[in-house]
Amino acid sequence: MHRMTTDPMKSFLFLSASTREPGHTGNTETLARIAAAALPDELPQRWISLAQCQQSAFVDLRHTAGHYPAPEGDAAMLLEATLAASDIVFVSPVYWFSVPSPMKTYLDQWSAWMRVPGVDFKARMAEKRLWVIATSGDRDKAQPMFDSYRLCAEFLGMQWMGPLWGKGGAPDAVLADTHAIEAAKSFLLRG
């Protein structure tokens, strides 16, 4: 296995979008944990379950106030974690051929964070890389979600690192997808 040269400025943020109950690890996180285990020990990793965060519904103030106050509570934590990471990994099952709602709510906040005075969100996001680790029943029908994430990355000028997909279902089903498990072991070591 090849090793990544560790840059002291690098850190990975894993944002999980599964809505499994607390304490029940889903397939996507299982696959992502295998990918993360290959990263150098000294490279910081932070894991956040978006479904366990208190995320407010997004309000579009673009053409009224035109800017947003600094976020508070879990939104402030998510903004800080997002800005602190060099690499963001969306750990995302496919829900209805699309982005699960906890991730969608988080993504909508990017539109607010772009308009929080002093944050410089867009320019700072352009320095980051975006990865996706996903599971669902069917790879081809995951494509719309992958396209959405790629377009989000492109909108902010992030480096798109592409998706790793495994066949999910009941918890641990992904462990039977030997191709995905093997691919996971080197997925995050690219680039």
Ligand X SMILES: Cc1cc2nc3c(=O)[nH]c(=O)nc-3n(C[C@H](O)[C@H](O)[C@H](O)COP(=O)(O)O)c2cc1C
Q: Which residues bind ligand X (CB under 6 A)?
A: 18, 20, 26-29, 93-97, 135-138, 141, 168-169
| Residue placing its CB nearer to ligand X in the complex, 97 or 155 | 97
- How far does Cα 82 stand from its chain's mean position? 10
Q: How far is the CB of 181 from ligand X (least distance, A)?
A: 14
Q: How far is the CB of 147 from ligand X (least distance, A)?
A: 14
| Residue placing its CB nearer to ligand X in the complex, 120 or 147 | 147
| Residue placing its CB nearer to ligand X in the complex, 28 or 82 | 28
Residue nearest ligand X by beta-carbon distance: 168
**Distance between CA atoms of residues 89 and 99, nearest Å:** 14
| Residue placing its CB nearer to ligand X in the complex, 31 or 88 | 31
Q: How far is the CB of 65 from ligand X (least distance, A)?
A: 34
**Closest to 170 in 3D by CA, of 96, 93, 104:** 93
H or E segment at 113? helix 101-113
Q: How far is the CB of 137 from ligand X (least distance, A)?
A: 3
| Residue placing its CB nearer to ligand X in the complex, 138 or 154 | 138
Q: Write phi, then psi, for 163 (nearest 5 degrees).
A: -100, 150
**Closest to 91 in 3D by CA, of 46, 140, 133:** 133
Q: What are the start-end ranges of the E strands in the chain?
A: 12-16, 45-49, 87-93, 129-136, 159-167
Q: How far is the CB of 93 from ligand X (least distance, A)?
A: 3
Judge whether 102 and 50 are in contact, CB under 8 Å: yes
